[in-house]
Amino acid sequence: MSIASLQCPQPIRHRLAVAPRDYARRDRAIESYEAGEYLTAVHETLGYLLPDIEIPDLAQAPLCFVQGSARVRVHIDDDSLVLSTALMALTPAAQSTAALRYVLTRLSATGQLFQPRLHDDTVSLEFRDRLSLLHPSKLAEVLQRMAMESDSNDGWLAHRFGVEASDREPVAPLDEAEFARALDIWNTHWTTVNELMQESRRRRSVRFLDALGSYAANQVRYTLPLFGSVRAALNESADAYTDKDENPNKRDSALAKCIKEMRQVPVEELRACLGNARFAINPLHEGTPSLLTSMLGAGHRMQTTGELRAVGRSLEAALELIADYLYLLADHSWPSEVEAALRGGLDLVSGKPWREAADALWNHANQTARVYGSHGERARDDEDDGDEDEIRYDA
């Protein structure tokens, strides 16, 4: 095999500066709702979901917040709460019928709490419910999912069907130096994945394919601030080749197709789909000490990886560990200390030979789980009770 190591470049994607949620506000929202104070419950729920935004009196003024490229609007209409986000504007030059068919089949579903609506030539995702029926848990689910769907699909719709982006938030593009580095990361990544895929086919190992699929998707998600059509295409492909319930041969074919498509993305299209956006609602899952323990601690997952090291299968062990670190960083948000520790593990093994990388990251993973995992959190609680500088994040 020609590739002897993996590069783990520093991310161009900005670290998300999202304030931690105040779970006491969520509890107060539920208490207010159960007491019949419905408008207060709505305000407390919005304060819990949007900790960085000052929530106005919705009875007097509407609220608009930005989620990636989506602008989500919230207002009171009589005794109902209305949420809406414009998705696309149909034009004579657009493939309007095909765009509407996609929206109705992919973004609409029986029983879904929010639905697409057509007003004149603008398609929006909307939700309306009476305040007396709007439990805080329902509002939280709708607001997060609707904002996510709008941000995830608007760019792809414009690219695929020629519709216009209506009432969308512009994303700050990368400067020339950032784009040059992003292009190098992009090209190097897919070349590396292609070589690893040949090794996967030679070994015929589902476990190797699992690790490779995770690495292929999450390395790009972590390092590059993708949005629009390229992000949508990557996510759709990743859903296929990372599906562990699917036939391995189909997953292999899906990954091969993804590699080919990603390497053929025109430079200008990639440039148009790179930029650091603002997010009012944290788009990532909140990382927890128990997750660190389960992924990096002394459990079954690390035990099986250790068995690979013990029998000299360093490539598989290193790839699994690197893929796990990238998953934790790409899909989850962490306190700055934990994120720095995880990033430090990748810096430790970037460009190192397989055996050296596997040994170093194995030891680093165990240390990270001891310090920041579930057991480490309890130990810090015992030692530093009342210390304001202590790392606290909900498990």
* Residues 6 or more apart whose Cβ sits within 8 Å of residue 173: 179, 271, 274, 275
111-152 tens-digit pLDDT = 899 999 999 899 999 999 999 999 999 999 999 999 999 998
- In the beta sheet, which residues pair with residue 165? none
Mean pLDDT (whole number) for 316-334: 96
Give me 279's structure tokens.
């997010």
Any idea which residue has 């059509």 for tokens? 229
| Burial class of residue 189 in the structure, from the number of CB atoms within 10 Å of its CB (0-12 exposed, 13-18 middle, 19+ buried) | buried
User: Is the separation of the CB atoms in 223 and 185 below 8 Å?
Assistant: yes
**Model pLDDT, residue 154:** 86
Amino acid at position 376, single letter: G
* Residues 6 or more apart whose Cβ sits within 8 Å of residue 293: 299, 369, 373, 374, 375
Q: What pLDDT band is residue 156 in, cutting at 50, 70 and 90? A: confident
**Model pLDDT, residue 93:** 86
Q: What pLDDT band is residue 375 in, cutting at 50, 70 and 90? A: low
Q: What pLDDT band is residue 166 in, cutting at 50, 70 and 90? A: confident
218-236 tens-digit pLDDT = 999 999 999 989 999 999 9
Backbone angles phi, psi at 66, to 5 degrees: -105, 130
Q: Is the pLDDT of residue 385 over 50?
A: no
Q: Is the pLDDT of residue 382 over 90?
A: no
15-59 tens-digit pLDDT = 887 777 899 999 999 999 999 999 999 999 999 999 989 999 998
Concatenate the DSSP letters of all residues of 59-77 into one string.
Answer: TTS-EEEEETTEEEEEEEE
Q: What pLDDT band is residue 329 in, cutting at 50, 70 and 90? A: very high
**Model pLDDT, residue 122:** 93
Instruction: Say how far apart CA 337 and CA 322 lie, in whole Å.
Output: 19
Give me 33's structure tokens.
């709702």
Q: Is the pLDDT of residue 381 over 60?
A: no
DSSP-assigned letter for residue 165: -
Q: What pLDDT band is residue 1 in, cutting at 50, 70 and 90? A: low
82-112 tens-digit pLDDT = 999 999 999 898 899 999 999 999 899 888 9
Angle value at C-alpha 49, between 324 and 280, nearest 5 degrees: 75
Q: Which helix (H) or strand (E) holds 101?
A: helix 96-106
User: Is the separation of the CB atoms in 218 and 209 below 8 Å?
Assistant: no
295-317 tens-digit pLDDT = 999 888 899 998 999 999 999 99
Q: What pLDDT band is residue 187 in, cutting at 50, 70 and 90? A: very high
**Percent of the chain with pLDDT strictly greater than 70:** 94
3-state class of 363 per DSSP?
Answer: helix
User: Is the separation of the CB atoms in 215 and 242 below 8 Å?
Assistant: no
Concatenate the DSSP letters of all residues of 178-213 into one string.
Answer: HHHHHHHHHHHHHHHHHHHHHHHHHHT-HHHHHHHH
SS (H, E, C) 310-350: HCCCHHHHHHHHHHHHHHHHHHEECCHHHHHHHHHHHHHHC
Q: Is the pLDDT of residue 378 over 60?
A: no
Q: CA 282, 288, 292, 295: dihedral to nearest 10 degrees?
A: -70
The average confidence (pLDDT) of the chain is 90
Mean pLDDT (whole number) for 273-297: 92
348-373 tens-digit pLDDT = 999 999 999 999 999 999 999 999 99
User: Is the separation of the CB atoms in 183 and 274 below 8 Å?
Assistant: no
**Model pLDDT, residue 383:** 40
**Model pLDDT, residue 230:** 94
